[in-house]
Amino acid sequence: MDKKWSVFIAETHRLFREGLRAMLNIRPDIQIVGETEDGIEAIRYTQSLKPDLVILDLNLPRMSGISAIRTIKGESPEIKILVLTDDHGGENITEALQLGADGYCLKDISREELFWAIDTVMAGKPYLSPQIVETILRRCLMCLGNAGSDGPWSDLSPREKEILKLIGEGFSIREISESLYLSRRTVEKHRYNIMKKLNIHRTSALVATAVENHLAVTR
């Protein structure tokens, strides 16, 4: 038998995770090497296990799936990431793909489509569910219609947007520094720059801004 693909599952809901594991165990060419419901543990396990594929939910506790994608791909770009989530928000799709996710599927897909998505991603090609393609097309049309207009986030760097998202999700400076492997001083400097660029003077207002503009998933 050819080499099996090692797969790690990062999924919030235990029942769905167990069903997914049982489904994947049908495939003789797939070996489940681990699983977690936690974003930070997803990073730690993938660092040690080095799986071929991570099947990742975006709505993970302690660290969002978006932040996990950034860290995993930053350290191990060869690891494939297939997002499997019920989050079909346009911003998260775009950000996940920009950070290196190899595929993006919704949880209501069939078993056949999931297997096809895995095969496509492992063959080195991107895979998007049809509903996701439709969402991206709509966003592209909106962007074309709004070309030339400046949003309030245009001055933020990708790292600043990531930190703003984590602040909005209720993480402390210490937790952010630990999860992103940055010094507390660096995180505090990023927070200062974000508040200055957005003309915000209180951390509570910063949290509210992130949540109101769908940059954060509240815990």
Spell out the SS3 assignment of 13-48. Answer: CHHHHHHHHHHHCCCCCEEEEEEECCHHHHHHHHHH
Q: Is 140 helix (H, G, I), strand (E, B) or coil?
A: helix
For residue 2, give the DSSP letter: P
Among 112, 111, 90, 85, CA closest to 103: 85
pLDDT digits (tens, 9 = 90+) for 13-31: 999 999 999 999 999 999 9
Query: Which residues, including other chains, have CB under 8 Å from residue 161's CB and lie 6 or more apart?
Result: 153, 215
Q: Which tokens belong to 156?
A: 């933020």
pLDDT digits (tens, 9 = 90+) for 115-169: 999 999 999 888 888 777 766 666 555 544 444 445 556 778 888 888 887 877 6
Burial class (CB in 10 A: 0-12, 13-18, 19+), 180: buried
Contact 164, 206 (CB under 8 A): yes
Return mean pLDDT, the chain. Answer: 83
Query: Which residues, including other chains, have CB under 8 Å from residue 133's CB and lie 6 or more apart?
Result: none
Confidence at residue 160, expressed as pLDDT on a 0 to 100 scale: 86
Contact 84, 65 (CB under 8 A): no
pLDDT digits (tens, 9 = 90+) for 174-202: 888 888 888 999 999 998 888 888 887 66
Confidence at residue 148, expressed as pLDDT on a 0 to 100 scale: 44
pTM: 0.66
Domains of the chain, start order: 5-142 (3.40.50.2300), 158-212 (1.10.10.10)
